[in-house]
Amino acid sequence: MAFFTSLYSGSSGNCSVVRCGAEYLVIDMGKSCRATLNALKELGLPVAAMRGVLVTHEHSDHIQGLNVFLKHYSVPVYGSAATLDDLDGLGVTPPCAECIAIEGRTEQVGGFEVTAFPTSHDVPCCGYRITAPDGAVMAIATDLGQLTPEVHTALSGAALVALEANYDLYSLRYGSYPYYLKRRIESPRGHLDNAECAAKILELVPEGCEKFALCHLSKENNTPALALGAVQQALLAAGVVPGPDVQVQALRRSEPSEWMEF
């Protein structure tokens, strides 16, 4: 059996875990090393069982704890070549760190098979499609302003999909953010809103996706209730009953979420 959870998720920091048996992968490390280690300990996950850290991109809410972590633990880091170059330039990855560019191919990471795919953001960014040792498949796409055909292909058929539901459009447009930031978030190189996330989930359900984790919710421009409501409304309008037919969970901002089996 394979499982997915988030240690924390949102505009203030992101870190996810994919586990199968005794080994696991971490995706991003956007809060302090201490906060991340404490969350891993809470879930009973020893660092010795971590097979790799998959980095989506260089923004601080995805790499904040990585530098300190790599000073204490020898765990390989995976990401696009551009992201790894940026991490090196920022001094995040020490010279001794094993950094492996993963774009354009499938990489064996412990017992997992990992394929990276590009996402549309304002810096080089990628999502991941992960096949667990038992053959179960999940995919994660966060920090993307539009859902390209390549992203759809990467998500299609995965038993579990973690997909960004960053903002509620009304809350963003009538909120306190400055105009330039609102434009950036709404742009094709920004983030997904709840309605876009819901529409994509509706497309993925007939293609075999059964479980969805809504990730990277904005603290200022979204709530779990708004994100879940948008998805559930779209599903019900299409005759899909949330719960019995499709499971949807909004990931928690500051603490581990419930494990989702896939």
Q: What is the DSSP track for 78-104? A: EE-HHHHHHHHHTT-S-TTS-EEE-BT
φ and ψ of 213, to 5 deg: -115, 120
Q: How do residues 188-244 score in pLDDT, each as one tens digit? A: 999 999 999 999 999 999 999 999 999 999 999 999 999 999 999 999 999 999 987
* H-run or E-run covering 230: helix 224-237
Cα gap 197→165, rounded to integer Å: 6
Tell me, what's the pLDDT at 244? 79
Cα gap 237→133, rounded to integer Å: 36
C-alpha atoms less than 13 angstroms from C-alpha of 111 in its C-beta half-sphere:
17
Tell me, what's the pLDDT at 234? 96
Tell me, what's the pLDDT at 105? 85
Tell me, what's the pLDDT at 42? 97
φ and ψ of 137, to 5 deg: -120, 135
Tell me, what's the pLDDT at 160? 98
The parts of the chain modelled with pLDDT lower than 70 are none
Tell me, what's the pLDDT at 103? 84
Tell me, what's the pLDDT at 104? 80
φ and ψ of 134, to 5 deg: -90, 5
Phi-psi region of 136 (alpha: psi -120 to 50; beta: other; left: phi over 0): beta
Cα gap 78→76, rounded to integer Å: 7
Ordered structural domains, the chain, with CATH? 2-256 (3.60.15.10)
State the residue for tokens 């191919």.
105
Neighbour count for residue 153 (Cβ, 10 Å): 11
